[in-house]
Amino acid sequence: MNKKFNVAIVGATGLIGKKFIEVLQKRNFPVNKIKLFASEKSVGKTVYAFGKELTVEKLDEGCFLGLDIVFFSAGASVSLKYAPIAINDGALVVDNSSAFRNNPQIPLIIPEINGNLLKDSVSRLISNPNCSTAIGILPLKLLDQTFKVKRIIFTTFQAVSGYGQKGIDELNRVKKGAKPSVFPLNVNKNCIAKIGENDKYGYTDEELKMVNETQKIFNKPILISATCVRVPIKNCHGVSVEVEFEKEFFEEDIKGILNKTNGVKVCDLPSFETASGKDEVFVGRIKKSLAFKNGISFFCVGDNTLKGAALNAVQIAELLIKFGKIER
| 220: number of Cβ within 10 Å | 12
Query: Is residue 292 a contact residue for a second copy (CB under 8 A)?
Result: yes
Query: Is residue 9 a contact residue for a second copy (CB under 8 A)?
Result: no
User: Which are the contacts of 9, defined by CB distance < 8 A and separation ≥ 6?
Assistant: 17, 20, 21, 34, 35, 36, 37, 70, 71, 73
Query: Is residue 321 a contact residue for a second copy (CB under 8 A)?
Result: no
3-state secondary structure of 257: helix
Query: Is residue 23 a contact residue for a second copy (CB under 8 A)?
Result: no
Half-sphere exposure of 259 (CA within 13 A, CB side): 7
Query: Is residue 234 a contact residue for a second copy (CB under 8 A)?
Result: yes
CB 211 within 8 A of CB 102: no
Query: Is residue 257 a contact residue for a second copy (CB under 8 A)?
Result: no
Query: Is residue 285 a contact residue for a second copy (CB under 8 A)?
Result: yes
Which region among 45-53, 115-123, 218-226, 313-321 touches a second copy (by CB under 8 A)? Answer: 218-226
Query: Is residue 185 a contact residue for a second copy (CB under 8 A)?
Result: yes
Q: Which helix (H) or strand (E) holds 81?
A: helix 76-88
Write down the least CB distance from residue 243 to a second copy, Å: 10
> Of the residues 63, 131, 236, 300, which is catalytic?
131
**Which of 131, 316 has the CB closer to a second copy?**
131
- Bridge partners of 52, per DSSP, are 49
Query: Is residue 267 a contact residue for a second copy (CB under 8 A)?
Result: no
**Which of 233, 310 has the CB closer to a second copy?**
233
Q: Which helix (H) or strand (E) holds 277?
A: none
The span from the first CA to the last CA of the chain, in angstroms, equals: 12
> Of the residues 228, 236, 237, 300, which is catalytic?
237
237 carries an active-site annotation: yes
Q: Which of 62, 104, 177, 202 binds a second copy (CB under 8 A)?
A: 202
The 123-162 contact track toward a second copy, x by CB under 8 A, reads: ----------------------------xxx-x-x-----
The whole-angstrom separation of Cα 68 and Cα 4 is: 10
Query: Is residue 271 a contact residue for a second copy (CB under 8 A)?
Result: yes
Binding-site size, a second copy (CB under 8 A) = 48
**Which of 10, 243 has the CB closer to a second copy?**
243
- Closest C-alpha among 66, 61, 74, 69 to residue 124: 69
User: Which are the contacts of 261, defined by CB distance < 8 A and separation ≥ 6?
Assistant: 112, 138, 139, 141, 142, 143
* Number of helices followed by number of strands (H, E) in the chain: 11, 13
| 61: number of Cβ within 10 Å | 8
Q: Which of 64, 203, 245, 249 binds a second copy (CB under 8 A)?
A: 203
3-state secondary structure of 324: coil
The whole-angstrom separation of Cα 53 and Cα 48 is: 4
Query: Is residue 297 a contact residue for a second copy (CB under 8 A)?
Result: yes
Q: Which residues bind a second copy (CB under 8 A)?
A: 151-153, 155, 157, 184-186, 189-194, 201-203, 211, 223-227, 229, 231-234, 238, 240, 242, 269-273, 284-292, 295, 297, 299
- Which positions are catalytic? 131, 237
